[in-house]
Amino acid sequence: MNAVPRPQASPAHGSRLAALNDWVAEVAALTRPDAIHWCDGSDAEYASLLEGMVAEGTLLPLNQQTHPGCYLHRSDPDDVARVEHLTFVCTRERDDAGPNNHWMPPADAHAKMDALFDGCMRGRTLYVVPYCMGPIDSPLARCGVEITDSPYVVANMRLMTRMGVDALSRIEREGADGKVFVRGLHSTGELDPERRFIMHFPEDLAIKSFGSGYGGNALLGKKCHALRLASWQARQEGWLAEHMLILGLETPAGDTHYIAAAFPSACGKTNLAMLIPPASYRAKGWKVTTVGDDICWMHPGEDGRLWAINPEAGYFGVAPGTSAKTNPNALAMIQRDTIYTNVAVTDDNQPWWEGLDDRVPAFDWQGRPFDPANGPAAHPNARFTVRARQCPSWSPRAEDPQGVPISAIVFGGRRSTLVPLVFEARDWTHGVQVGASMGSETTAAATGAVGVMRRDPMAMKPFCGYHFGDYFAHWLSFDKPGAKLPKIFHVNWFRKGEDGKFLWPGFGENIRVLEWMVARVDGSVVSGEDSDIGLLPTRTQLDLDDIALATEDLDRLLGIEHDAWAVERDAAVADLNAYGVRLPVGLGSSDPA
């Protein structure tokens, strides 16, 4: 048996961090690593991590002339996406996890995971990763510590969170006040799909993940902490942890409205968050800035408004489809200091993926000579990890400790039929109904079939850490005297015509829809076309200059098919009613979206 190294070099000296030291020692005794390293988040540490992975062959330098500081990681072919069927929420009472989550009794889950962790870090280094989700000095931020044996995870956590000594100092300060940090234990194990589980213990603010190196399963600050555990924490503390982008929309008058928008993974969140207005809008003075592209924590402020932070400090974005046409800002920010995962490479060792340009890659995402017979060159869920500050549209308000005030909340999914381009909910309760009923066609961000329509309430189906009925009730609880809640909208950029092509041009042109939303928020547009599902813009309220849209296509984009909506309504209500007695009274009876 390996001797267990003692973390004598730990920077966590103080009695306030005795719990952290004890936990690290406990994990080391279980996993038996050869060494323990406490991460400080420094440039030197990051460079050492990269150098070590390059030496091991698990990280490949890309063309340093064209992409300085960029590297490629290739996953095991069986470890390329979130594994929702192996993800559990382990509450003491089964009903608290809800039918929207896989459940296991906490004692059983701990026993299963500890058996997997037993001795799993022999020959490896145990990394202690203290991190802060949100600006380091924000009262809205929350801290955690991830223990992992993966240097790839450590490097990505450095890009994605505020990681290192500053986070450790905040953990120490908060420990003096009795506040607890999220504890996340991760090991790649043998990357065996038969020995792969992600367990969440919300009542103890703990996570255990074994057998995967993929971001959503292994970067425990991301979906595991910032959504599954934070959603539980948010309900207890009176705020919202949501799967939403945050953008700032500056009008020609100089007013900035902040919009939070929820879309399922790989449905255009990053593209919308980094939107570049078309030339005609830029000439008028419209600007878009990016606060966040994936996760939004919203707290009610003293003024009655919802104030939001992006808990992340980086982007873990989908590469395929990202191009100079679809998202110039994203493409610009990943030209340097970026970790790519499962992309292809060209003959001169530049990263490449479908939708980037018309070059032919030399090697596919598995390192094989490219052959179309083997499928796409880049995995459909290939990713890039990069610091948020590198984005040309990055907003300094992303580091504002108080967050930004939210004017509008937008729900949306990938629907090729039925759902119109945009509509506004009648009020907050109806807006919750709209979000609770939304559906989307599945993408490659999760394992399973692609293109299958499923209900994904608030884009949180894979991420809500408790019973959806309780979650909807928590949303409804914000509508109280004195609240100045955002207007709620629903969009669908993905409606198709009879020829199978998208009707709406999307990307930068989506600002035309955002303009209408802002006009509804500030009162400059006081009416619209009332319908069974909410308020629609009239044909003249959307600025469609320079867009070639046939009249019948515009009618399809903005119109309502009443018979089809009746079927949709019944299906949505049936799905909501499946949440049983915990579904808020009346929520299943309003018109769904």
| 6 is known to lie in a ligand binding site | no
| 215 is known to lie in a ligand binding site | yes
| 265 is known to lie in a ligand binding site | yes
| 354 is known to lie in a ligand binding site | no
| 144 is known to lie in a ligand binding site | no
| 19 is known to lie in a ligand binding site | no
Q: Helix, strand or coil for residue 93?
A: coil
| 461 is known to lie in a ligand binding site | no
486-487-493 Cα angle (round to 5) = 120
| 382 is known to lie in a ligand binding site | yes
| 569 is known to lie in a ligand binding site | no
Task: Take residue 89 and report the two structure tokens written for it.
Answer: 């929420």
Per-residue HEC secondary structure of 277-319 comes to: CCHHHHHHCCEEEEEECCCEEEEECCCCCEEEECCCCEEEEEC
**Choice among 90, 132, 267, 296 that is catalytic:** 267
| 317 is known to lie in a ligand binding site | no
User: What pairing do the DSSP bridges indicate for beta strands 404-412 and 487-491?
Assistant: parallel
| 266 is known to lie in a ligand binding site | yes
Amino acid identity, position 331: L
| 269 is known to lie in a ligand binding site | yes
**Is 267 labeled as catalytic in the residue annotation?**
yes
Residue 291's Cβ-count burial label (10 Å; 0-12, 13-18, 19+) is buried
CB 488 within 8 A of CB 408: yes
| 267 is known to lie in a ligand binding site | yes
Beta-strand ranges (E) seen in 125-215 are 125-133, 142-148, 162-163, 182-187, 197-201, 206-210
What Cα–Cα distance (Å) separates residue 84 from each residue in 36, 398, 400, 446? 31, 30, 33, 7
DSSP letters, 318-329, are E-TT-STTT-HH
Amino acid identity, position 54: V
| 510 is known to lie in a ligand binding site | yes
566-572-574 Cα angle (round to 5) = 105
| 524 is known to lie in a ligand binding site | no
| 208 is known to lie in a ligand binding site | no
Would you tell me how many other CB atoms lie within 10 Å of the CB of residue 567? 11
Binding residues for substrate: 82, 214-216, 265, 381-383
For the annotated binding site, the residues are: 82, 214-216, 223, 243, 265-271, 294, 381-383, 414, 507-510
Which residues are annotated binding-site positions for GTP? 266-271, 383, 414, 507-510
Could you list the active site residues? 267
Binding annotation for Mn(2+): 223, 243, 294
